[in-house]
Amino acid sequence: MPGKIWIVVQHRDGKLHRMSREAVVAGQKLAAAVGGTAQAVVLGHGVEPVVEALTHYELDAVLVAEAEALVDYTPGAYIGVLAAAVAERSPTHLVFGHSYQNVDYMARLAQAVGGSLVSEVVGFEQGDEGLVWRRPIFGGKLQSRLRVSGPAPVVVSVQSGAFSADEAVAGSAERQSLDSAAAVPDREILGVEEVSGEHVDLTAAEIVVAVGRGLGDPQKMGIIEDLAAALGAEIGASRPVIDSGWLPRDRQIGSSGQTVAPKLYLAVGVSGAIQHLVGMKGAGTIVAINKDAGAPIFAIADYGIVGDLHEIVPALTAAVREAKAGS
């Protein structure tokens, strides 16, 4: 059976979500790997700018479900429309960006249509073992290779940054309409709010010292403060540090926090889970200090020191002070 790949896009204010542009590339590559065609799927209300943008990609079609009940995202309305469309048109694969909105409903969609789910893939290969998906496990410390059998469709989401939006193949695609009668919202949307009232703007900092759970004890925060002071840096943190109340929420860096790109980023006791990396991988120079030589953070760092941060950080503070005094 030739592949019929659907790329289900997410959008806001007439623009494609960044991860959806990456999903388009994943979908095009998947169509090439399995032999088949790719189509984009758009759900919403007033989505013409998004549809128009998608018609300039090399796609077999852009399928559009337009309805007032789709103006805000709800899983009920999205799953209703997509499940009906899947039943009618039998795609083999549904490709999503691994965004918070998509993860909210794609698994349930897979279950609803009798398909299967592979979440957060970073790549795939068509080879002797069939189509094999690669994805991280244990926060990126390990990777697994998965194979899916059984009836279509396979619902997959692609990890942020795993595919480059620049590699999209341009072309032209024709718009087709999807039935949106099954769009029944199952949530009432009351509004959107900012997570933390007060706001430390970490994006303006030239140097960021990010502290992770590896600090072990909030009483030890002084060594981080000393290093930041010596460097003239702002302090940022991984999520568990914030969740445990060691620092306020507005210092969180990552997919749910701030995205920073300072000229120097020091990750101290941070393992390097993808949700953290997306918030800092654009930094100029990255230093990682971690006692585990296998920590994923070292893969994106420029300089690494393996060891106990409680020894290394004070030594680093002293070395920075000395260097600054000498210059």
Partner 1 sequence: MKIAVCIKQVPDSEARLRVAADRRWIDEEDLRFVVNESDEYALEEALQIAEHTDGEVVVFSLGPERVREALRKCLALGASRAVHLADEAFAGGDAIATGRALAAAIQNGGFDLVVTGSQSDDVGFGATGSILAGHLDWPHVWLVMGVEIEEGGASAKVTREMESGMNEVIRLRLPAVLEIQAGLNKPRYASLKGIMQAKRKEIATVAPSDLGLDPSVVGAAGSRVETLSVAFPESSGGAEMIEGDAATAAGVLVERLRKEARVL
Ligand X SMILES: Cc1cc2nc3c(=O)[nH]c(=O)nc-3n(C[C@H](O)[C@H](O)[C@H](O)COP(=O)(O)OP(=O)(O)OC[C@H]3O[C@@H](n4cnc5c(N)ncnc54)[C@H](O)[C@@H]3O)c2cc1C
Half-sphere exposure of 176 (CA within 13 A, CB side): 13
The answer to whether 223 and 308 are in contact (CB under 8 A) is: no
Tokens of 317: 């503070």
195, 201, 222, 225: which one binds partner 1 (CB under 8 A): 195
If the CB atoms of residues 185 and 304 are measured against ligand X, the closer one turns out to be 304
Measured CA to CA, the distance from residue 147 to residue 118 in angstroms comes to 9
Question: Of ligand X, partner 1, none, which one does residue 270 interact with (CB within 5 to 8 Å by kind)?
Answer: ligand X
Name which of residues 125 to 154 contact partner 1 (CB under 8 A): 129, 132, 136-150
40, 258, 269, 280: which one binds partner 1 (CB under 8 A): 258
Question: Of partner 1, ligand X, none, which one does residue 112 interact with (CB within 5 to 8 Å by kind)?
Answer: partner 1
If the CB atoms of residues 66 and 250 are measured against ligand X, the closer one turns out to be 250
Name which of residues 304 to 323 contact ligand X (CB under 6 A): 308-310
The answer to whether 83 and 122 are in contact (CB under 8 A) is: no
Q: How many residues bind partner 1 (CB under 8 A)?
A: 93
| Consecutive H or E run containing 316 | helix 309-326
- Identify which range of 53-61, 86-94, 172-180, 189-197 contacts partner 1 by CB under 8 A: 189-197
Name which of residues 293 to 312 contact partner 1 (CB under 8 A): 293-294, 296, 298-308, 311-312
Measured CA to CA, the distance from residue 144 to residue 132 in angstroms comes to 10
| Interaction between residue 270 and ligand X (CB under 6 A) | yes
Name which of residues 150 to 169 contact partner 1 (CB under 8 A): 150
| Interaction between residue 255 and ligand X (CB under 6 A) | yes
For residue 153, whether the previous peptide bond is cis, meaning omega lies within 30 degrees of 0, is yes
Phi-psi region of 120 (alpha: psi -120 to 50; beta: other; left: phi over 0): left
- Bridge partners (DSSP) listed for residue 207: 264
Measured CA to CA, the distance from residue 123 to residue 170 in angstroms comes to 21
Which residues make up the interface to ligand X (CB under 6 A)?
A: 139, 212-214, 216, 238-240, 252-257, 269-271, 273, 275-276, 279, 290-292, 295, 308-310
